Structure 1
């Protein structure tokens, strides 16, 4: 089915190639969600890692992305994107499988977890850059909000079921063996992408040397104030969210006293909010305008994160479900609108470089956040460290609500 044929039908799910890419993304994300539970549990349960070591593990996922993202963006703009994504999937399958093999051989050590986190993080970054540059060519710029809403809703469903599946697999198989499911998911994702029928256009020949191209994406974003607000927001939010993630599993295991399957179930239930947010975003964007919708989503939902450190055993788990659920709804809406906006205003030949600039700043936040979360947990204790992190999230929301975004009803919907 051609791109034009996909547009004539009511739903993107009738678009053959989008459906394949959508399924591949969903399968890959399911495996990644399993890893998100299993990898820190390998460190905590199998290797008795400290909170700081778990924080370093979170940071190692993002460090190579920080170092390699800008040159990777230039490279993605010079090659076909789909083969790049297939290769990234297969590479991640091979690397993740090293953890259960090392555990079986009695060779598992913390440095290996760091190495696997770093290398799979780099390949995940390459996949993400390829996907950001490939999506407009796959479905057309006029359907990006619809396409991103579908993808975000699916990612949220995976976020609901994936951690629960991860907890179940860890409980049944041990954490290292649960990573086999992740390796298999990357292989299935690669097979789905390989079946896409449409021929990807040849990338435009570079108009200047690679080194000179590095700064083009940055200059493009700096010249557009609203785009700059989103990039700063995502950078600050990355610090806070990664710090929270570095502390969260340790918090739920050691402070709240939950089992792996209970952690997976709790994460799944709270993830319903993200699914609802993804479903409502297109309608709210039409009703309120995309600018107002994202501004309100951040300003209203982010303060609910303050409920998360109040989590206690028993009925106190409701505090986590409500806080994380409402927060997830706001994050889903923000991701859909902001990501669609950045893809829409960026010319096709700059997509890889603009995405890489946004990601390198965000990845810097991830690295800092992982280290900060581990340090706060070791210094103040896990619960008090989590309080500091969630108060910082409210401060990030205040930055956005005071920005020029508050005066914009609709974000631009055309390349600049």
Structure 2
């Protein structure tokens, strides 16, 4: 007889893991505004210095994304590494206000801090996915991932406002203290988790060979490959759109600078809705159908932004609506994609598969930013945004021509009335 699962909200270790991410992500949103403001206002950084500062936090995905995946599969205990990442990030963030008070703060110092935190973020995320599998039972992993996505969405909604208030009250460098404290509190929460990590460490066969195994799985597994390719498409186009959006909103639509933040808030609202809907939709339709349905809305969000215009109130509503739609679709897709990846990745390779996916999907964002800038320069802002909208149709092609669609059709056939009597007569079969 199957033992009923305890709801996630009543599982102590999941609450601690969730709280760690909620606290840390909120602090990161504060730093996302406070650190650039420190560079621009306090240190009078040049445009090239601002560009390097921005790149410093994402470059680690390309630098250590693949090796960290191999390391995540090598070790039996991942939680100590995650705690160490949070502690190092907290100390790095704390160095900003201390250096400012001592008169030592400089742009290179901020770049070094951003790079250090970026390295820790990559390693943490790579180790977090296989660690989650030890804390949460398989039937509850979709709901658990949705819980983490809701954290990101709430942080995106409330973080910028909190950051603005802290910067106004404390100055930008001192506001970074909040980020340092959240990293340290997150480490305490992680340290308090009691679930034992009893997995055996993988046999070491050389880092290059282990990285190659993760790459081969992703390339040759049709479901994982389709998810990765779709993620790459939407991220490269999303980065291209964001490279153009500020100029488009201010110069073409005439939005006042304070209202440009509507985009981030709209995406956060949509993401929160998507995180709440994803577990319910997957419980009813399954991950495959939710994935197929979510990508249908990707082009709609891009097109709504590209087509925005008219009176100021209408343009704001169009952009906010586009971001809400995009937030719902992207987060629902991310929740189901993460769940399917955990299910499909071979035993002992989840860390490498996840790291390789992050390497590909996050790495292309730098290319997307350059692509958006080139298209905007050559064709103009609105035509470039329409190209992004047209390109997003490739997400539908990528996913709907993959085995994910065939899996959804098989699930539909199993649920058809013609098979219902057999499934009703065999309760065990009905649960498989």
TM-score normalised over the length of structure 2: 0.82
1:139 matched to 2:133: no
CA distance in 2 between partners of 1:64 and 1:176 (Å): 24
- 1:25 aligns with 21
- 2:350 aligns with 351
Instruction: Give the alignment's Cα RMSD to 1 decimal.
Output: 3.2
CA distance in 2 between partners of 1:315 and 1:340 (Å): 38
Structure 1's 334 and 50: CA in aligned 2 closer, same or farther, altered over 3 A?
A: farther
Deviations 1:144-186 (A, max 9, x none): 1121122222322222222222233234333333222111111
CA distance in 1 between partners of 2:316 and 2:298 (Å): 19
1:281 matched to 2:281: no
Q: 1:339, CA displacement in angstroms?
A: 0.6
Structure 1's 205 and 390: CA in aligned 2 closer, same or farther, altered over 3 A?
A: closer
Question: How many residues are aligned here?
Answer: 404
Structure 1's 137 and 168: CA in aligned 2 closer, same or farther, altered over 3 A?
A: same
Q: Gaps spanning 5+ residues in structure 2: where?
A: 412-432
CA distance in 2 between partners of 1:374 and 1:383 (Å): 9
Structure 1's 374 and 39: CA in aligned 2 closer, same or farther, altered over 3 A?
A: farther
| Structure 1 stretch displaced more, 183-192 or 262-271 | 262-271
2:170 counterpart (160, 165, 173): 173
- 1:186 aligns with 183
Q: Kindly indicate whether the alpha-carbon contact (under 8 Å) linking 1:302 and 1:330 is maintained by their aligned counterparts in 2.
A: no
Q: What pairs with 1:313-392 in structure 2 (closer than 5 Å)? A: 316-373=315-372, 379=377, 384=382, 387=385, 390-391=388-389
Q: 1:376, CA displacement in angstroms?
A: 6.0
CA distance in 2 between partners of 1:370 and 1:177 (Å): 30
Q: 1:389, CA displacement in angstroms?
A: 7.3
Q: Kindly indicate whether the alpha-carbon contact (under 8 Å) linking 2:229 and 2:398 is maintained by their aligned counterparts in 1.
A: no
- 1:294 aligns with 291
Q: 1:111, CA displacement in angstroms?
A: 3.5
Structure 1's 69 and 374: CA in aligned 2 closer, same or farther, altered over 3 A?
A: same
2:395 counterpart (394, 397, 400): 397
Q: What pairs with 1:12-411 in structure 2 (closer than 5 Å)? A: 12-46=8-42, 54-79=50-75, 80-206=77-203, 208-246=205-243, 256-259=255-258, 267-308=264-305, 310=308, 316-373=315-372, 379=377, 384=382, 387=385, 390-391=388-389, 394-400=392-398, 402-404=400-402, 405-409=404-408
CA distance in 2 between partners of 1:36 and 1:19 (Å): 25
CA distance in 1 between partners of 2:128 and 2:55 (Å): 23
Q: 1:406, CA displacement in angstroms?
A: 3.7
CA distance in 2 between partners of 1:393 and 1:320 (Å): 19
Structure 1's 243 and 45: CA in aligned 2 closer, same or farther, altered over 3 A?
A: farther
Structure 1's 221 and 303: CA in aligned 2 closer, same or farther, altered over 3 A?
A: same
SS at match of 2:392: helix
CA distance in 2 between partners of 1:132 and 1:329 (Å): 22
Structure 1's 400 and 93: CA in aligned 2 closer, same or farther, altered over 3 A?
A: same
| Structure 1 stretch displaced more, 247-256 or 188-197 | 247-256
Q: 1:48, CA displacement in angstroms?
A: 5.8
| Structure 1 stretch displaced more, 250-259 or 134-143 | 250-259
Higher relative contact order (CA 8 A, sep 6+): 1
Rg comparison, structure with higher value: 2
Deviations 1:319-364 (A, max 9, x none): 2211111100001100000011001122342121111111111232
CA distance in 2 between partners of 1:240 and 1:402 (Å): 19
Q: 1:237, CA displacement in angstroms?
A: 2.5
Q: 1:58, CA displacement in angstroms?
A: 3.4
Q: Kindly indicate whether the alpha-carbon contact (under 8 Å) linking 1:240 and 1:389 is maintained by their aligned counterparts in 2.
A: no
Q: Kindly indicate whether the alpha-carbon contact (under 8 Å) linking 2:73 and 2:202 is maintained by their aligned counterparts in 1.
A: no
Q: 1:402, CA displacement in angstroms?
A: 4.7
TM-score normalised over the length of structure 1: 0.85
